[in-house]
Amino acid sequence: MIIDSMERIARYAGILPHAEVLAKLWADRSAEGAPFEVRDKRYETKDDEKRRFEVHDHTIDLMVGLEGSEVIHICPESELEPAEPLPNGADGRKMNGAPRGHAVILSPGQFVAIYPHEAHMVAGHPGSPASLHKWVVKLPV
């Protein structure tokens, strides 16, 4: 996992695929024309009992905060029970387990890069329920 400011993302070029492209997308505040999948997500944070972990085998999930904040829990896959595959043949699977591991807060202007086999649970309340807008960038490895 990496957590840092989008202003510094280009510094991670050696360990984060497309870091320079991501820096340009951030500067333009547009994901249009990206050479990888970028999902524009808007949702409300959730109570812990409604959140689930997921893990990917071949994808870095890079989350970029645009508006609002959320808590993301990250832990080793080995600490959780495997559940069902992700829908529509997506890379990875859901995992069962209560929030644990590192709790990081994704805020506007920050990114969190979650590497394969790092389980992550998104959408936690950052103190109280909140609205969130972020990019979820799918970087194949």
pLDDT for 6-49, tens place per residue? Answer: 999 999 999 999 999 999 999 999 999 999 999 999 999 999 99
pLDDT for 64-103, tens place per residue? Answer: 999 999 999 999 999 999 999 999 989 999 999 999 999 9
Query: Any idea where the domains of the chain sit in the sequence?
Result: 2-140
pTM: 0.95
**Can you give the pLDDT at residue 7?**
97
Phi and psi torsions of 56, nearest 5°: -120, 150
2-140: CATH superfamily: YhcH/YjgK/YiaL (2.60.120.370)
By three-state DSSP, how is residue 91 classified?
Answer: coil
Distance CA 11, CA 41 (A): 25
Phi and psi torsions of 125, nearest 5°: -65, 130
**Can you give the pLDDT at residue 58?**
96
Distance CA 118, CA 34 (A): 24
**Can you give the pLDDT at residue 13?**
96
Distance CA 107, CA 126 (A): 10
Phi/psi zone of residue 100: left (φ > 0), alpha (ψ -120 to 50 degrees), beta? beta
* Sheet containing 53-55, strands listed edge to edge, beginning at the edge strand earlier in sequence: 81-85, 93-96, 53-55, 118-124, 70-76, 102-106
**Can you give the pLDDT at residue 1?**
96
Query: Residue with structure tokens 């936690």?
Result: 124
